Each structure stands twice: as C-alpha cells, then as structure tokens.
Amino acid sequence: MTFRLLRYYTPIALFALVSVLAGCPKPLVAVPDVVNMSQDAASAVIIGADLAVGTVTQAYSSTVASGSVLSQIPAAGESVSSGTPVLLTVSEGPQPVTVPNLVGLAQAEAQTALTGVGLAVGEVARQHNATVPWGSVISQSPEAGASVAPGTAVALTVSDGPEAAPVGSVWGAATMNADWSSRMTTAAVFDSKLWVLGGNGPRPDSWTVWNDVWWSSDGTVWHQATANADWSPRMTTTVVFDNKLWVLGGADGSATRLNTSFYNDVWWSSDGVAWHQATASADWSVRVAAAVVFDGKMWVLGGVGPGLTTKNDVWWSSDGATWHQATAGAGWSARGAAVAVFNGKMWVLGGMLSGASSLKNDVWWSTDGISWTRATAHADWSPRGAHTAAVFNDKLWVLGGMLSGASTSKNDVWWSSDGAAWHQATANAGWSVRGFHATAVFDNALWVLGGRETLAGSTAYNDVWHSVVN
C-alpha cells in the first residue's frame, strides 16, 4: 500500500519526505539584530525569523534605555538552526543610587556628598530651628537610604538657627546710671548723637527741674553740652527741624501738679550749647505740648496746661517764631498724647484727659492737621498717659506709660503697621515699668531713656535701654 502511494509524489517531494523520515538537519537561518529594541519588539522579530525567545535576564545600563535589549546570544548575523532560542539581556536602566544621610551636615558638605554619588542638590528651603545649627541640614527629600536614579535632585531644608525674637521684645541696657541725674525727660537724635534736654526729677528733699543738655554717641558715655541752657529749667518738648535742636514750651515742674508754671517760648540751637530764642510767646497757649516735624513744618498738637487742663488745638510753624492754627478743635478729644509721623501722616495715640480724669487708647491720623480720621477707638494696648510713640522698622510703636490711678505703670511694647491693628512685642521689656520717659530711634534701635515709675511714687530713672535684634 505504501509503495502504491509513493508513485503519486514528485521527485522533490519524495526527497523531502525521505529526508524527514531519515531525520535530516533543520535548515539554517540568520539571527536578526535585536539590540536596542524593546523586549516586545525583539521577541516578535525573533519569532518571525523562525527562532525562539530564550531566557531573558536583566542588567543595569547607563547607555541603553530601560526595557530595551542590551545584548543577545547568538549574536546578530550568526547562522543557526531554525527554532534555536535567542537569549536576551534587557536593560533596567542606570543602576540606582542610594541617597546618603545628609541631616546634620553643613549645606556645602551635603552638596559635596550628593555630587559624589551622582545626585544633585534640589530646592533648598530655610527654616528656623532651635537645635540644628545655622547652615546645617534639618531634613532631606528623598530620605536617606532611598534608591533613586542617578542625577535625581535631593531637596534640602537648612537651618536658619533659632527663630529671632520679635523686634522690641528683647532689650539691652546701655547704662543703668547715666551721667545725667534721674528724671522725667525728653530726647532727640541730632548730629548723629543721642541728646537729653532738661527734665524733672527727685532730689533728697523735693523734685526739681533742670535745663542741662547732654549728648552721647553710644548711649553709654554721656557728655554735658551745657549745665545751664538759655531757656529756664523745665520739663519740655524737643524736635529736630531745619538742622537745629528745638525746645518748645514746657513746665517748671510735673505737668500733673497744680502749682506748676507753664511756658510757650520757643528756642533753637545748632550745637546744644548756644541757644537762641525764636519767640518768647508763641501763638499757642502755655503748655507741655506734643510736637512733631511734618511736611516741612514744626507742629504742636494739644498738650497739658495750667490746672491740668488739656488741649486739642493744632498749630504749625515754618520758622519757630510765627505760628498758624490749623484747627482750634481736632477730632480727637483734648489731651496730652503721644504723637508720631508715620506713613505720610501725623498720628495721635491715646493720652491723658483734663485733670488726669481719664485715659484714652484711641488712635487718630491726619495729613493736614485739620481733618482727623480715627484709626481705632480702642487699640489693643490699655488706655494710658505719659507713654511714648516712635516709628521704627516701618512700624508705629507705643512704649510703656501710666495707667489710671497714677499708681500703676507699664513696660509693655506694642507695634502696628496701620495704626488700627496692634501687636504686642513684649508684655515686660527689660526696662522697669515707667512713664514720662523719653523714646528715640538711634543706631538702628529703639531707645528708652529715664522716666518715672509712677505719679504716686518718688522713683525716677537715669538708665538707658535699647532694643536688641538677636
């Protein structure tokens, strides 16, 4: 039967059939080049060439993309029997890098450690930290021990050291016993020096007034410009205007005593030694005034006069001799107030009403001395008198002062960026509680000089303090 069928095959077919039956070798095929192909594409090409995909292993490579064929066996171009398996090595991409531990290193050391293992410095944030030294790494991302690709950026958070205390909260003493005697006083900054002019303070048997003038370049060492200025001894108000020191009115005792004499004369000096009278009697009535320099003029704003009467009139002068009344009754009630110039405006802050009957903590401002706008009816600081105001670090400041009853004073410090919202820098400054002190801005700091503990007590000071930025 078999031999009957053979007669139907062609010679070629018969040769093939005989070859199969006899176990002849498979035909040879050329191995294709699949290097750099993706694994899927390489597998398809291999199968299409009548070969088989053999064992697939993986290896790191810095030149061949992850998932692509890195090498093959047999090599491309070799002739092999059909169905021969082709072994593939597929790239896993670059070998991962272990992120080093950078916490605690200085920033420069951390950068060196990263570049040394082929990583990069990413975003660097700064953060205050009480325990990690300034400039050292607080934290990192990715964290130490993580495996990442070479060139990965590691973000760092670097310490700025302990958080600085708010300005106005830390105070240092320039001296606890200045060369000028203990007193309620006024101060100014003139000719790159800090000046103290006159004042009212205790002696063994009574309180007295002075007309001495002192200056200091550092707040510690004081020099007497004159022991007796041409103006009479008094508690006065001082401004710096037209490159001169000015003394405006005042009182020959405490402004709160009924038997005190008051003045409205105006004096000036170019050196603190020689004084010249601009007028013996200004157009504004006798008083201990609040005064500022604003818009190229000297301004007097309210004040305390005989019998503890208070004023709310506003006056200005371009020469200290001739005075003009901006208003006889400002929007704020009559008082002895703290005043300042801030953000292109004159400001009136709190103060003592007539007869020391009540205290205020409202805040008012004006751009012309005539029209006044109330920034707040009740600031966050308590109602007070005999406090001071200053402008420093682009903020308006209120420092210390006396509370109702004349037996309590404060040593708190407050600031505001707009006169309406107030923030407490400290409830207890380094200097003791007081009022009728002087405040100045000098050598990039706030200064507090002298003052009196309370109206009811007999303690006055001649210490000098300045704010400290740590």
Percent of the chain predicted with pLDDT > 90: 81
Cα end-to-end span (Å), the chain: 113
Enumerate the β-bridge partners of residue 124. 156
State both tokens at 250: 């005042």
Q: What is the pLDDT of residue 272?
A: 98
Place of tokens 């008094």: 234
Q: Is residue 404 part of a domain?
A: yes
Q: How confident is the model at residue 11 (pLDDT cuts 50, 70, 90)?
A: very low
* CA-derived radius of gyration, the chain: 44
CA 253 to chain CA mean position, Å: 42
Q: Are residues 176 and 70 in the same domain?
A: no
Is 70 exceeded by the pLDDT of residue 5? no
Q: Are residues 205 and 86 in the same domain?
A: no
Regarding whether 187 and 149 lie in a shared domain, the answer is no
Domain that holds residue 239: 171-467
Nearest to 244 by CA among 190, 168, 298, 285: 190
Same domain, 383 and 294: yes
**Residue 226, SS3?**
strand
Any domain includes 292? yes
Q: How far apart are CA 80 and CA 75, in angstroms?
A: 10
* C-alpha to C-alpha distance for 326 and 348, rounded to whole angstroms: 15
Structurally, how many domains does the chain consist of? 3
Quick one: pLDDT at residue 362? 98
What DSSP state is assigned to residue 356?
Answer: G
User: In the listed set 91, 111, 129, which residue is the last one of a domain according to the structure?
Assistant: 91
Average pLDDT over residues 132-160: 94
Among 91, 121, 146, the domain boundary falls at 91
Residue 153's identity, in one-letter code, is A
Q: What is the mean pLDDT of residues 94-123?
A: 94
Max Cα–Cα distance, the chain, nearest Å: 155
**Does 452 lie in the same domain as 303?**
yes
The alpha carbon of 319 is separated from its chain's Cα centroid by a whole number of angstroms, namely: 39
- Same domain? For 198 and 261 the reply is yes
Same domain flag for 149 and 219 = no
Burial class of residue 21, CB neighbours in 10 A (0-12, 13-18, 19+)? exposed
pLDDT tens, residue by residue, 212-227: 999 999 999 999 999 9
pLDDT for residue 146 is more than 80:
yes
Q: Which residues pair with 158 in a beta bridge?
A: 126, 137
What mean pLDDT is predicted for residues 138-162?
Answer: 94
pLDDT of residue 458: 79
Residue 62 is predicted with a pLDDT of 82
With respect to residue 281, please indicate whether it lies within any of the assigned structural domains. Answer: yes
Q: What's the chain's length in residues?
A: 470
User: Over the chain, what is the mean pLDDT?
Assistant: 91
Report the DSSP beta bridge partners of residue 321.
none
Q: What is the CATH number of the domain that holds 304?
A: 2.120.10.80
Is residue 430 included in any domain, yes or no?
yes
How open is the CA angle 438-439-444, to the nearest 5 degrees? 150
Q: Indicate the residue among 122, 137, 159 that finishes a domain.
A: 159
Domain identity same for 364 and 279: yes
**Sign of the C-alpha dihedral, residues 241, 243, 248, 251?**
positive
Own/partner pairs, 466-470, CB within 8 angstroms, 24+ separation? 466/171, 466/172, 466/174, 466/219, 466/442, 467/167, 467/168, 467/170, 467/171, 467/172, 467/392, 468/170, 468/171, 468/172, 469/164, 469/167, 469/170, 469/445, 470/164, 470/165, 470/170
Residue 132 lies in a domain: yes
pLDDT at residue 255, rounded to an integer:
53
Tell me the β-bridge partners of 153: 120
Residue 407 scores a pLDDT above 90: no
Q: Say if residue 109 is in the same domain as residue 207.
A: no
Specify whether the CB–CB gap between 187 and 196 falls below 8 A. Answer: yes
Given a contact cutoff of 8 angstroms between Cβ atoms, the answer to whether 141 and 155 are in contact is yes
Mean pLDDT of all residues in 48-61:
92
d(CA 465, CA 152): 53
User: What whole-number distance in Å separates Cα of residue 177 and Cα of residue 449?
Assistant: 11
Contact in structure between 267 and 277 (CB atoms under 8 Å): yes
Q: Which residues contact 3 (CB under 8 A, 6 or more apart)?
A: none
Q: The tokens of 171 are what?
A: 């105070």
Q: What is the pLDDT of residues 14-34, one digit of tens each?
A: 444 444 444 557 899 999 999
Q: In what order do the strands lie in the sheet with 310-317?
A: 288-294, 297-304, 310-317, 324-327
CATH of the domain at 61: 3.30.10.20
Can you give the pLDDT at residue 406? 65
- pLDDT of res. 411: 97
pLDDT at 89: 95
Q: What is the pTM of this model?
A: 0.69
Residue of 457, 391, 461 whose CA lies nearest to 432:
461
Q: Rounded to an integer, what distance in angstroms lies between the CA atom of residue 462 and that of residue 453?
A: 12
Residue 153 domain-assigned? yes
Whole-angstrom distance, CA of residue 195 vs CA of residue 247: 12
For residue 351, give the 3-state DSSP assignment.
strand
Q: What is the mean pLDDT of residues 360-382?
A: 98
21 domain residue, yes or no: no
pLDDT at 256 exceeding the cut of 80: no
Whether residue 111 is found in the same domain as residue 64: no
Burial 439-465 (b: 16+ CB within 10 A, else e): bbbbeebbbbbbbbbbbeeeebbbbbb
pLDDT in tens, 297-345: 999 999 999 988 999 999 999 999 999 999 999 999 999 999 999 999 9
- Report whether pLDDT(39) > 50: yes
